[in-house]
Chains A and B, each alone.
Chain A
Amino acid sequence: MMGGSWQYVFAILAWPGLLGAAALGFFYLWVARKLNARLQGRRGPPFFQPFFDFVKLLGKETVVSRGVNPALFYALPFMSLAATVFGLVIVPVPGHAVDSFPGDIILLLYLLEVPVICDVMAGYVSQSIYGQVSAMREAVMSLAYNLPLLAAVIAMAQNAGSFRIGTLQTASFGVVTFLAAIAFLVAIPARLKSNPFSIPNAEQEIVAGAHIEYNSAPLAIFELSHALEVVLLYDAFFVLFVPHTGSVLADTALYFLISLGLTVLVTLAAATTARLTVKRAFRFYWVWGGLAAAAAMVVAVVG
């Protein structure tokens, strides 16, 4: 039998932590790239492409620009990765039972925000004008999409009367769930920086975004962290809005189906739209995202 601490080590390193989520995240990234290619009439990359990109980057020499603080330069991608891994560990996905504690959804929201802060700091640390523009855009976008995202979570918590993931997961399915899910869904493309909200990493405008001065292993860690963020965001959607069936098999099937469905939705949105300006994206989130969020809140409080 596994001891308590070994269980944590397993959770952090294997499932649902680093290894399992990396495999899943790379798979979703591949699905997104492949689907995008098929929609454009291309064949697209081979199955292991995100993994090959990651390994290749790991095997390169690192160049640190003059004037860049090397400690921060190396620390930021690892901070981003660590926050995402710990976020993954506190979410009760199928095959991973956690002791839910009061307020763990708030901890999850904080951990979801750490990679964004790391990106913003990476942009400023880079000493590159493009990196700084990207950092600024990312900070503004974070203010925009966090309105519907946080409101969705608060509405769900109000509905269930608790800030515990365990309680939220077993809450009954209703109008609030539906409205809050829409508000959360709307926030996902901006959180993942995909079109039409690929504003902070707009490569045609600001070259390569906040990661412009990053290369080789630190860039690889950022890419890995991004893959895990995708999984973490889908996990959060799954535990908040998808009804708990009680059967492990059904839950697992539902988990993969929902995650794949979200990948397809986000990719479809990315492939069929053009990038918005910061102003328009901000207005979109504060008007339409705000409306969905307000509706969910009203129903949660009144209903």
Chain B
Amino acid sequence: MNPFAKLLAISRRKSPWIYSVNSGSCNGCDIEIGPCVSPRYDGEQIGMLRQGSPKHADILLVTGTVTRRTRNALLEIYAQMPSPKAVVAIGSCPASGNVFAGSPTIDGPLDKFIPVDVWVSGCPPRPQLIIAGVAQAAQLLAEGKTADQKRKAKP
């Protein structure tokens, strides 16, 4: 690996900027994302910053079951994020639909629409787990192993 690529890989690992989107979550997971950058858990130690615009972010945190009403917004936000990007699914809802599974108003699971790199389990997951998920996604970004990077690497 040449030195520039190495520096870029380190920078990607050390600077995960997140953007969270609620795709029909009960708000439980969203409340747990907030403390990740608070004094108690301090995600800034690993460079984690919450961004207001998906265009500034590297990692998309998705909470909720992906309802019919939020699906298009979610796809639009994912498309707006500049590559390389990673997706972290927060909680049980994006994975299985959780207690809403089988409802006619939900379109999940999340990986039907966008490729997911890290699944964080829990209902809701603790902030430590969310930070661990973000760190893992940042590691994948550094190694070039996210679904987005693999897709771009194919001819």
Contact = CB atoms under 8 A, between A and B. Distances in A.
Same complex for A and B? Answer: yes
A61 B149 CA distance: 11
B31 to A, nearest CB: 17
Contacts of B53: 207-208, 212-213
A81 to B, nearest CB: 19
A52 interface: yes
Interface string A30-59: 000100010011111110110111111011
B47 A208 contact: no
Contact of A40 (B17, B39, B58): B39
A216 interface: yes
Contacts of B52: 203, 207-208, 212
Contacts of A46: 14, 45, 47
A56 B85 CA distance: 12
A58 B8 CA distance: 9
A30 to B, nearest CB: 11
B44 A56 contact: no
Contacts of B8: 55-56, 58-59
Interface residues of A, number: 33
B15 A33 contact: no
Interface residues of B, number: 24
A212 B55 contact: yes
A46 B46 CA distance: 8
Contacts of A238: none
A53 B55 contact: no
A293 interface: no
B69 interface: no
Contacts of B84: 60-61
A44 B82 contact: no
A63 interface: yes
A69 interface: no
A215 interface: yes
A40 B39 CA distance: 6
A134 to B, nearest CB: 11
Contact of A63 (B7, B15, B45, B80): B80
Contacts of B82: 60-63, 215-216
B15 A213 contact: no
A262 B65 CA distance: 48
B79 to A, nearest CB: 9
Nearest to A45: B44
Nearest to B80: A63
Contacts of A51: 11
B39 A49 contact: no
B68 interface: no
A233 to B, nearest CB: 24
A42 B15 contact: no
B45 A56 contact: no
Interface string B37-80: 00100101101000111011010000000000000000000001
Contacts of B98: none
Interface string B16-47: 01000000000000000000000100101101
A52 B11 contact: yes
Nearest to A212: B53
Interface string A215-249: 11001000000000000000000000000000000
A59 B11 contact: yes
A161 to B, nearest CB: 48
B15 A214 contact: no
A160 to B, nearest CB: 44
Contacts of A52: 10-11, 14-15, 47
8 contacts: A44-B45, A52-B47, A56-B11, A56-B14, A59-B8, A60-B84, A207-B53, A216-B82
Given A44-B44, A46-B14, A52-B14, 10 more contacts: A37-B42, A43-B42, A44-B45, A48-B14, A55-B7, A55-B11, A56-B11, A61-B83, A213-B55, A214-B55
Interface of B: 7-8, 10-12, 14-15, 17, 39, 42, 44-45, 47, 51-53, 55-56, 58, 80-84
